[in-house]
Structure 1
Amino acid sequence: MNSNAQPIKLFLVVAFSCTNLLVSLTPVLAKPTLDSSRSDAYGGLRLRPQTKTTLAQVTTFNQPPIPPGPAPGGRVRGGAKRGPAGCKITKLDLTALVPFTQEANSVVNVWGQTTVEHPSWFFYVPYTKDLPYIVEFVLQEDPDSKDSKEIYRKAIALPDKPGVIRVSLPTNTPALAVDKQYRWFFTINCDKEKNSPPTYVEGVIKRVNLSAETVKELETAEPRKRYAIYAQKGIWYEALTTLAELRQKNPQDAALQAEWLNLLRSIRLDDVAAESILPVTP
């Protein structure tokens, strides 16, 4: 009996050793994450593949349905015909950082909510100040009317380098009214003579009120929590603005970088998520 037990014991030792060897050789698969050590001073992102992520669960943006009535329409990407006097060809187009939907009939609706009287908009601009382009931001009342009243117009200076810029409605302009929609335009004329069509983006913004309970929660919440509340309530403009300000104050924060990537990915703007948020210019 002892003569039979010895070969069996030897077999089990060899089998166990082989199993451990196979386990040790099994590759570990990791999801890509963000490399905070390679972000620039203005918050540009770089992707670092094949590294483990230890970031907290990112927040989900709950996009509200388009309100009843005429569809807002709009344009989230610039794209004019480029002739001899047209816009310089760039890797990425002019892009509005705003939610949009594309219907079955290919109609694009660009629409988002705000809770403040004087909100901010963010745009990815691929052109720089060395180009003689004319840039304007315009805000109108009554977006569905042919006689829309213009309430704000501002010439925009092109940045030093391509990136995401912020345009804010000044406090000395009329406040946005609650439950009223407004149409905005961001236009770049690349031809001073205006013989070529401009490249532009446009959409509709609506101011809404939050519940008293949510307002109270926001009053005591720190900025990261406020961002999460706005995102969960479908308030795009304050969610984006809060997160952009956090990223500019903490450019090396990998968790904030992941939130930014996730937020823009949720509205299908992954391609501009890695672009720098540029300092605000007067």
Structure 2
Amino acid sequence: MKPPITMSLFVLLAGIIIHPAPSGSQPATTNPIQGSQIIFNDPTPPSQGTPTGSRRGGASRTCYRSEETLTALVPIQNQIVFGQTSVAHPAFWFYLPTHPDRPMTIEFWLQDANDNLIYTTQITLSDRQSGLMQIAVPSTATPLAVNQLYTWTLQGSCQSQRSAESSSLVVKGTIQRTRLDTTLQKQLTTATPLEQAKLFAAQGIWYDTLNALASAYRSNRNDRSIANAWNTLLKQIGLESLAEKPFLPAGKDVSNRNP
């Protein structure tokens, strides 16, 4: 004969059934800073007002080696070259391939939705070395307005020293300024550059992600965690081939022109 179930055991079992496990036992939301990898959450471009663009400039025998081309470091979705920033005066990154015998001149301009010129600059590259270059919009230019779309264009051209033959390539895309929420602002104040890049990436803010990480990588090329993050970020947008390219200084002959 089986022993009777005692009242205390019955109460214990009932308590387990009635009272669910505390909410703290549920998996916690992943903190982007604590993750070992940087994860860029690419936002969907606005459905209206976002034109298509070009991330690569195509091939040109006159200016560049056949395996290289002018490239903007920015995501592309369905032929739409689009990225966000939280700052009023953003910075852009480009891969500039050069020919050893043909100096390259690049011109950059930024326009609003009504084609009003926000900023333009022309740079002559005299060192003729291929690499990554940053073009920053100065604080003297008109600040970008929140939620507005702007179009940027970079044109690279060169001329053969042996003939009058010249060639040019163009890359083009759209940038939108977004507003940071208060929680993210507080997190950024105490974060390292690598942590800042992870926070921006989690929010899908491309230009701030890239600039924070590029700054960290340029200063700490031997830091494995930063190098891995740089490679991972560029791989996520299909530009892993540019991860090992050198960083170029600003062109020696620079002519900045504000409208």
Using the size of structure 1 for normalisation, the TM-score is 0.70
| Distance verdict in 2 for CA 1:134–1:280, change over 3 Å | closer
- AA matched with 2:135: V
- Displacement of 1:136 in angstroms is 0.3
Task: Determine what percentage of the aligned residue pairs are the same residue.
Answer: 35
Cross-structure match for 2:135: 167
1:158 aligned onto 2:125: yes
1:227 aligned onto 2:211: no
* Larger CA deviation: 159-168 vs 259-268: 159-168
- SS, match of residue 237 in structure 1: helix
- SS, match of residue 171 in structure 1: coil
Output aligned runs, 1:260-279, within 5 Å. 260-279=230-249
Cross-structure match for 1:121: 92
**Partners of 2:130 and 2:105 in 1: how far apart?**
16
Report the number of matched residues: 215
- SS, match of residue 235 in structure 2: helix
- SS, match of residue 157 in structure 1: strand
Output aligned runs, 1:36-51, within 5 Å. none
- 1:168-198 CA-to-partner distances (Å, cap 9, x unmatched) read 0011111111111110011012249997652
Decide whether the 8 Å contact of 2:91 with 2:137 is kept in 1. Answer: yes
Decide whether the 8 Å contact of 1:94 with 1:199 is kept in 2. Answer: yes
Cross-structure match for 1:178: 146
- Displacement of 1:91 in angstroms is 2.4
1:131 aligned onto 2:102: yes
Query: Which consecutive unaligned segments of at least 5 residues does structure 2 have?
Result: 1-34, 255-259
- 1:86-141 CA-to-partner distances (Å, cap 9, x unmatched) read 32334221110001013xxxxx1100000001111000101168624331011111
- 4+ runs of 1 displaced by more than 4 Å? 191-197
| Distance verdict in 2 for CA 1:89–1:222, change over 3 Å | closer
Query: Which consecutive unaligned segments of at least 5 residues does structure 1 have?
Result: 1-55, 103-107
1:96 aligned onto 2:72: yes
Using the size of structure 2 for normalisation, the TM-score is 0.76
Cross-structure match for 2:8: none
- 1:36-86 CA-to-partner distances (Å, cap 9, x unmatched) read xxxxxxxxxxxxxxxxxxxx821111100111204421000011554xxx3
1:68 aligned onto 2:72: no
**Partners of 1:80 and 1:199 in 2: how far apart?**
8
**Partners of 1:164 and 1:275 in 2: how far apart?**
7
| Distance verdict in 2 for CA 1:126–1:136, change over 3 Å | same
- 1:136-170 CA-to-partner distances (Å, cap 9, x unmatched) read 0111111xx5xx11121101232631110100001
More strand by share: 2
**Partners of 1:110 and 1:255 in 2: how far apart?**
28
1:240 aligned onto 2:210: yes
**Partners of 2:167 and 2:100 in 1: how far apart?**
20
Cross-structure match for 1:190: 158
Output aligned runs, 1:24-43, within 5 Å. none
| Distance verdict in 2 for CA 1:115–1:233, change over 3 Å | same
**Partners of 2:65 and 2:249 in 1: how far apart?**
24
- AA matched with 2:216: L
